Chain A
Amino acid sequence: MLITGIKSRPVYDQLVPMASGLRHIAVAQGSGGKPVLRLLAEMTAGQRASTTVVYSTESFTGNSYLSELQDQDDVELRVVATNSEALQALDDVLSTANMGTRLYLAGSEGFIGTAMQVASAYGLDRDEILREHAGSFVRRVWCAHCDTYTENVTTRVFRCPGCELDLVVRDHYSSRLAAFQGVKADGEVPGELPEIEELDT
């Protein structure tokens, strides 16, 4: 098939305090709360005092670290119900942040990728950001035919909710689009679909 090893998939980091930064922003979703708690535990009191955490309780796996995060009294916490609200909150925080800021992202691949889009728009570079993957590797897929994005795709072939074509999910990850590419699955021979296998989630 058209599938090989995924060279384009981002290589993720482990969240550790970036001591050279003067201000710290951590944005997490679902299972991403766990690495953020570990990060906060490794921070000095001074770093915690200059940290803002944005946490989205939206989760594919159902894991929540909300109460543990709320127990961190000396850290500013903003809780939102959806990942898209978390991205909006990130945009708000970055719009007034200055040089010297460090960004920490944790959660699903789609969440980290879309948060990276927000960070890149503010000119943050890779040496100012750490990203830790948490939870499942469900995919965010971009439809090459109708430009629709679909979250949490777990199978090789699925029906695009935008154009209702059967799409095969390619193993190419686009950092710019923060998504895997989906293309018409029976484009060569109409009606002949590839095997509907589980993706490596």
Chain B
Amino acid sequence: MTTAHNGTLALRVDRIEPVTPEINRYTLSAADGAWLPPFSGGSHLTLLIDTENGTRRNAYSLMSSPYDASMYQIAVRRIEDGKGGSVAMHRRISVGDVIPVTIPANLFPLSKHARHHLFIAGGVGITPIFAQLEELNLKGGSFEVHLAVRGPEHATLGRELIERYGDRVTLYGDGERGRMDIAAVLAERPLGTHVYVCGPARMIDDVVDRAHEQGWTDSHIHYEKFEDAGSTGEPFTVTLAKSGAVIEVSPEQSLLEAVEERGFKLPYLCRGGACGECETEVLELDGTLDHRDDWLSEKDRASNAIIMPCVSRATCSKLVINA
């Protein structure tokens, strides 16, 4: 099996396939030809992408089969007004290029005890579900998929799933069917049903709210925000207590990115405020923290004693963190 150096695998681009006007599918294999590390359905990779404005770290869900260790597949949607990572993937990367990629991590695993798996996705949010379905199909789990797309030309991935899984997949917005009624999809489900949602933030919020209205508890609701949680805002300054380094965080970068740019290291995994890996102690604060993560509890947030540098910011005249 290929091994990681400085936390990343060297993966070669074997194939680039346009699947919608905005989405390319990339097939990657180990540059040294060895087997790839195994993963489970719902896992993602973080690609270190060279752009004109430095290295971008973008997370993409694995959509190939967890049972195939010869290659990884991801889908990248081009975001023209983003930070440049996805645009570089579409315009600068070609077959044969080698990209540094972190080993797979899973923040969106299947529930082992579910009696029925209900997947709801929007657009490119379908990608982690590809791998989850491979896993369920082999294990024999009961599932159905509801996918919303913006038009027939955006429905390629959905049609692939229909080919594989037939009427267990329902496509909305492809010209044949209208909008997805999320409340109706969730209604009158038998006990032990688990819902997984991946798509735009408003779709996730909608599913969580409708599920709560129908009495679902949080243990049965799973989501992954594939959109960059985003950490742009007003600039601020942070001091690293251990080295004394004073670092400016610009409006376009996260605290974590600013620290890394200066050559320091903080622990991280998801870079999206979900996994808890980068949790850092706040030693001094003159101002307020702008918590943007999904990790800290309300109590932790109110304490002003912990921050998640991958997404959260501060409006302050002074911020010292224990790093």
Q: Which partner residue on chain A sits nearest B214 by CB separation?
A: A100
Cβ-based interface call for B92 (8 A): no
What chain B residues lie within 8 Å of A126 (beta carbons)? 219
Q: Considering the chains assembled together, what is the distance between the CA atoms of A98 and B193 in angstroms? A: 9
Inter-chain contact B218/A123, CB cutoff 8 Å: no
What chain B residues lie within 8 Å of A102 (beta carbons)? 215
Main secondary structure on B side of the interface with A = loop
Q: Considering the chains assembled together, what is the distance between the CA atoms of A123 and B219 in angstroms? A: 11
Cβ-based interface call for B137 (8 A): no
Asked whether A98 and B218 contact (CB < 8 A) given A20-B212, A122-B115, A123-B115, the answer is no
Cβ-based interface call for B220 (8 A): yes
Inter-chain contact B215/A23, CB cutoff 8 Å: yes
Q: Considering the chains assembled together, what is the distance between the CA atoms of A47 and B191 in angstroms? A: 19
Cβ-based interface call for B288 (8 A): no
Cβ-based interface call for B190 (8 A): yes
What chain B residues lie within 8 Å of A122 (beta carbons)? 115, 191-192
The residues in B between 65 and 123 inclusive whose CB is less than 8 angstroms from any CB of A are: 113-115
Most A Cβ at <10 Å: residue of B115, B186, B192: B192
Cβ-based interface call for A147 (8 A): no
Cβ-based interface call for B217 (8 A): yes
Asked whether A94 and B191 contact (CB < 8 A) given A122-B115, A123-B114, the answer is yes
Q: Which partner residue on chain A sits nearest B189 by CB separation?
A: A99
What chain B residues lie within 8 Å of A22 (beta carbons)? 214-215
Q: Considering the chains assembled together, what is the distance between the CA atoms of A125 and B193 in angstroms? A: 11
Residue positions of A touching B, CB distance < 8 A: 20-23, 94, 97-102, 120, 122-128
Residue positions of B touching A, CB distance < 8 A: 113-115, 186, 188-193, 212, 214-220
- Which 3 pairs across A and B sit closest by C-beta, in order of nearness? A123-B192, A100-B215, A22-B215
Contact sample, A vs B, 12 pairs, CB 8 Å cutoff: A20-B212, A22-B214, A94-B191, A97-B191, A98-B188, A99-B215, A100-B215, A122-B115, A125-B113, A125-B217, A126-B219, A127-B218
